[in-house]
Amino acid sequence: MLSPMKIGLFLGAFYPTVTPAFLAKAAVAAEERGFHSLWVGEHVVLFDQYAKTYPYAESGEFPVSGEAGMAEPFTTLAWLAGMTSTIRLGTGVILVPQRNPLYTAKEVANVDWLSGGRFDLGIGVGWQREEFEALQVPWERRGARCDEYIELMRRIWIDSESAHSGEFWQLEPSRAFPKPVQTPHPPIHVGGESDVAIGRVVRLGADWLPFNVSPEMLVERRAKLAARLEAAGADSGSSRGIHDVHITASPNREFARPGAAEAFAEAGADQLLVHLRRGITVDTVEGALDDLADAYGVA
């Protein structure tokens, strides 16, 4: 028998809808209704004119424009940590290679510490060149930069005295506290369903957050991940297999509907990440969460 599917909630934290009152009510109501986790995304700046390369829309356009934006994820989750006690809090996702890794490591540790060990670190490498240019970070080799930054951050979270010497960052022996509550550190979830993302799950020993997938796509992509893990284990002697990878699946539009939880559980997901639809307000969010909890069998 399949274990009960955990249901997470993607808030997005899109301004101007997500007022402080909205966020507070949504977080408390989600916890009361039994949602397992609460996730927000990240974009520092957005552009009116940009290359239309967003991978999850046929038009290539990011679905936020004009006088809108996204709340900063770590301060938002730290604020929500103080209003909740059991629901997990995740980034879905932060863009690791465009961030200062020391500050990111500090922010991760701090939210985990303040929340009592409830933080999940969802990571990505970014899709918008213009955002990297605005932050004066090279677009090229961002994947390699991401992997090295994760290695550096792990040293900061785990070691009493941390040091690092790499291609993209140098750190002399130094100390960073507080450490995360979770040991050895909060779970890392690699966002994306591409071959590149699957390879990063294997290399980093991370969990997996595939986006915009159907159950059939998840079965195919999960089999690819299982094969990559088996090959890596044969080369390194690692015993890590597909059942050691926690999978949080974010469904595509067709499967963001009642009954999807069972199909995704059969496809191998451990958690389904459902989206609170746009346009929900502080006055309607509790009713919307009631509907989602009923539709997806949140217990």
CATH code, 176: 3.20.20.30
Distance of CA 259 to the CA centre of its chain: 23
| 279 part of a folded domain | yes
Predicted confidence band of residue 1 (pLDDT cuts 50, 70, 90): very low
Burial of 169 from C-beta contacts in 10 A (0-12 / 13-18 / 19+): middle
The residues, ordered by sequence, that sit 6+ positions from 235 with a Cβ below 8 Å of its Cβ are: none
Question: What are the angstrom distances between the C-alpha of 211 and each of 69, 93, 192?
Answer: 21, 11, 5
Burial of 278 from C-beta contacts in 10 A (0-12 / 13-18 / 19+): exposed
| 1 part of a folded domain | no
Does the pLDDT of residue 264 top 90, yes or no? yes
Strand partners, 275: 10
Does the pLDDT of residue 179 top 80, yes or no? yes
Q: Determine the Cα–Cα distance for residues 211 and 273; give it in Å rounded to an integer.
A: 9
Where is average pLDDT lowest: 52-61, 94-103, 131-140, 202-211?
A: 52-61
Q: Please report which residue ranges of the chain form alpha helices under DSSP H.
A: 20-33, 73-81, 101-114, 129-134, 142-158, 195-204, 215-236, 260-267, 285-296
Does the pLDDT of residue 14 top 60, yes or no? yes
Burial of 185 from C-beta contacts in 10 A (0-12 / 13-18 / 19+): buried
- Specify the pLDDT at position 211: 94
Strand partners, 164: 171
- Specify the pLDDT at position 131: 97
Does the pLDDT of residue 81 top 60, yes or no? yes
Residues present in the chain in total: 299
Predicted confidence band of residue 64 (pLDDT cuts 50, 70, 90): confident
Where is average pLDDT lowest: 78-82, 259-263, 282-286?
A: 259-263
Q: How many domains is the chain partitioned into structurally?
A: 1
Task: Check whether the bond before 93 is cis (ω within 30° of 0).
Answer: yes
Token pair for 18: 């997500």
Does the pLDDT of residue 252 top 90, yes or no? no
Token pair for 147: 């992997």
Token pair for 164: 């690092």
Where is average pLDDT lowest: 76-90, 118-132, 256-270?
A: 256-270
- Specify the pLDDT at position 18: 87
Give the range of the structural domain holding residue 177, as residue numbers without chain letter: 6-296
- What's the average model confidence in pLDDT over 80-104? 98
Q: Is the pLDDT higher at 1 or at 60? A: 60
- Specify the pLDDT at position 254: 76
| 228 part of a folded domain | yes
- Specify the pLDDT at position 3: 54
Q: Determine the Cα–Cα distance for residues 107 and 105; give it in Å rounded to an integer.
A: 6
Token pair for 276: 């609170």
Phi/psi zone of residue 151: left (φ > 0), alpha (ψ -120 to 50 degrees), beta? alpha
**Closest listed residue to residue 22, CA positions, set 251, 280, 228:** 280
**Radius of gyration of the CA atoms of the chain, in A:** 19
Where is average pLDDT lowest: 233-237, 252-256, 286-290?
A: 252-256
| 220 part of a folded domain | yes
Q: Determine the Cα–Cα distance for residues 253 and 135; give it in Å rounded to an integer.
A: 32
CB atoms closer than 10 angstroms to residue 177:
10
